[in-house]
Chains A and B, each alone.
Chain A
Amino acid sequence: MRSLKLLSWLLLFLALPAQAQDAGEATISSGDTAWMLISTALVLLMTPALAFFYGGLVRAKNALNTMMMSFIALGISGVLWAVLGYSLAFGEGSAWIGDLSKVFLTGVGLEPSGSIPHLLFMAFQGTFAIITAALISGAIVERMQFKAYLWFIALWGLLVYAPIAHWVWGGGWLADLGALDFAGGAVVHVNAAAAAVGAVLFLGPRRDYGRQAMLPHNVPFVLLGAGLLWFGWFGFNGGSALASNTSAALAFVNTMLAPAATLIVWALLDLTRTAKVTAVGAATAIVVGLVAITPAAGFVPPWAALLIGALSALPSYFAILWRPRTRFDDSLDVFAAHGLGGASGAILTGIFAQSTWNGTADGLLFGNPEQVLVQLLSVLAVLIYSSVVSYLILKVLSLFIAVRAEARAEARGLDVMLHGEEAYAYGEGAVLLLEHERANGATVAPAPHPQPAPTS
């Protein structure tokens, strides 16, 4: 049976990708390659989608800065993945980290990796490294120096993301323990959320936090971002089968079902609490449902996907209500959505995994209670390592450069102060800066002609 053979390949691949490459005798499947090419593009789209999701949630004066935090990861995390990150994550190495054998894509060519070209596998994994770094930014919007952010995600991708990806997917210690993480509940979402916690603790709250309401400036952007994230997530979860097969189909359908259930439960919670269903709530629910099904996607039956989606709404919903009453300014609730969503999903995977659907592992419900403990351990390990190392990266950076934006920049808006652009410029009062003025230095003297007072 061809499908059985593919499935067994896939299982070997999920558990031990590095070893799988060495197993040889594989051939490239055009069907698998086609699906993985598409999936890679779909996951890459999630980062711009995240930019819209986050960008709409902040105030107008910080819209570009927030969106740029996602977009710039496409550059930094993308390049560093190819140069060094991929080798640290998927080089053979030890149980803790890969090695330098694949630096600068050495030996990463068109030879088969599973049933797809090795190079394509690298690119698919690269899109995960990019979005995971970008996810962190939601916690520290509206107050961080952009230059410090660039350093932060560069170092974070190498010191935090690459080792953790190795633990779970690169044949590291969590893979050996049998932790189930289909598409990155722990590697991507708990990881980003833990980094978010470290970063918030280091940076502190925004200066206006707790003093004035900071409302989303463009809710349609938030909905657009959530919609595009869902679309891209079909590649994220479906593509994590690394083949165009039954496992991909299961993950794909579960990715459709789980957020749908989350959306309904979230709406009902909204209805019982305030009698109004909110749009920002709906967008958040979609993301929480997607996060929760990520570790489970290819392991659980569809009915369990609906349950996982529905159940995961609860911790995130109430955490988002409670968090603003604290001094913990995780501005866009990265921890509530990705940390709690990812942890719920990872633990529920340990309950609902069913080998008749996934061919490999059973969870608590199907006679394997230890799986829940393994899942819990993987969440805790990622949580501790990522939050501590993220905090330390920022601590070390702060010895060399300013990490926090100045009070004046925070008040005026980071778009103008850090990027020299406005998201919504009307062009009124914008005067061309001529060559000779520019040559005289950056600061321009006040205009000599008096302006009319801004009265009607």
Chain B
Amino acid sequence: MKLIRAIIRPEKLNDVLKALFQTEVYGLTVSRVQGHGGETELVETYRGTTVKMELHDKIMLDIGVSDHFVERTVQAILRSAHTGEVGDGKIFVLPVEKVYRIRTGETDEAAVTPITVSTA
């Protein structure tokens, strides 16, 4: 199992979600974060105060996947989060020691395999 942590542009979140769902990646956590990725600072002015904004709003996705899902998940994000400008973000793939699904107590592979819920 791996934990895929991707940091992307907020305006790309919809595209990335669409790409992930098409790749059959359904389990993920999204956080709003701020970060600095070397892009040029934006300059803002409030009355007499001029500031450069060193932190940019970003979205962080945490996705736990089984090993054979890593490559296609990463490819989906690479494809959908790309604009070509500085500030597109990063993808980290981290080892995971143990995973539990809280509802059932399932562990590891079983815990990161999505179940299909029938919506009656």
B34 adjacent to A433 (CB under 8 Å): no
Binds B, one of A191-199, A277-285, A343-351, A442-450: A442-450
Residues of chain A lying within 8 A (CB to CB) of residue B44: 416, 420-422, 425, 430
B35 adjacent to A454 (CB under 8 Å): yes
Count of interface residues, chain B, beta-carbon cutoff 8 Å: 29
Residues of chain A lying within 8 A (CB to CB) of residue B7: 454
| Chain B 34-71 near chain A by CB (<8 Å), digits 1 or 0 | 11101111111110011111111010100000000000
Q: Which of B39, B46, B58 sits near A446, CB closer than 8 Å? A: B39
* B85 adjacent to chain A (CB < 8 Å): yes
A444 adjacent to B45 (CB under 8 Å): no
User: What's the minimum C-beta distance from A342 to chain B, rounded to whole angstroms?
Assistant: 35
Which applies to chain B's interface (DSSP): helix, strand, loop or mixed? strand
Question: 10 closest Cβ contacts across the A-B interface?
Answer: A429-B55, A454-B35, A451-B36, A430-B51, A411-B11, A212-B14, A429-B54, A433-B50, A454-B33, A420-B44
* A211 adjacent to chain B (CB < 8 Å): yes
CB proximity to A under 8 Å, residues B20-38 = 33-36, 38
A-B pairs with beta carbons under 8 A, tally: 74
* B2 adjacent to chain A (CB < 8 Å): no
A416 adjacent to B54 (CB under 8 Å): no
Q: Which of B40, B51, B54, B60 sits near A451, CB closer than 8 Å? A: B54
A455 adjacent to B55 (CB under 8 Å): no
Give the B-binding residues of A (Cβ under 8 A).
208, 211-212, 408, 411-412, 416-417, 420-422, 425, 428-433, 438, 442-444, 446-447, 451, 453-455
User: What's the minimum C-beta distance from A241 to chain B, rounded to whole angstroms?
Assistant: 42
Please measure, in the bound complex, the distance between the C-alpha atom of A429 and the C-alpha atom of B52, giving whole angstroms.
Answer: 8
Please measure, in the bound complex, the distance between the C-alpha atom of A342 and the C-alpha atom of B19, giving whole angstroms.
Answer: 44
B38 adjacent to A416 (CB under 8 Å): no
CB proximity to A under 8 Å, residues B55-103 = 55-56, 58, 60, 85
27 contacts between A and B (CB under 8 A): A208-B14, A416-B42, A420-B43, A420-B44, A421-B45, A429-B34, A429-B55, A430-B52, A430-B53, A431-B41, A431-B52, A431-B53, A432-B50, A432-B51, A446-B38, A446-B39, A446-B40, A446-B41, A447-B36, A447-B54, A451-B36, A453-B35, A454-B7, A454-B34, A454-B35, A454-B60, A455-B5
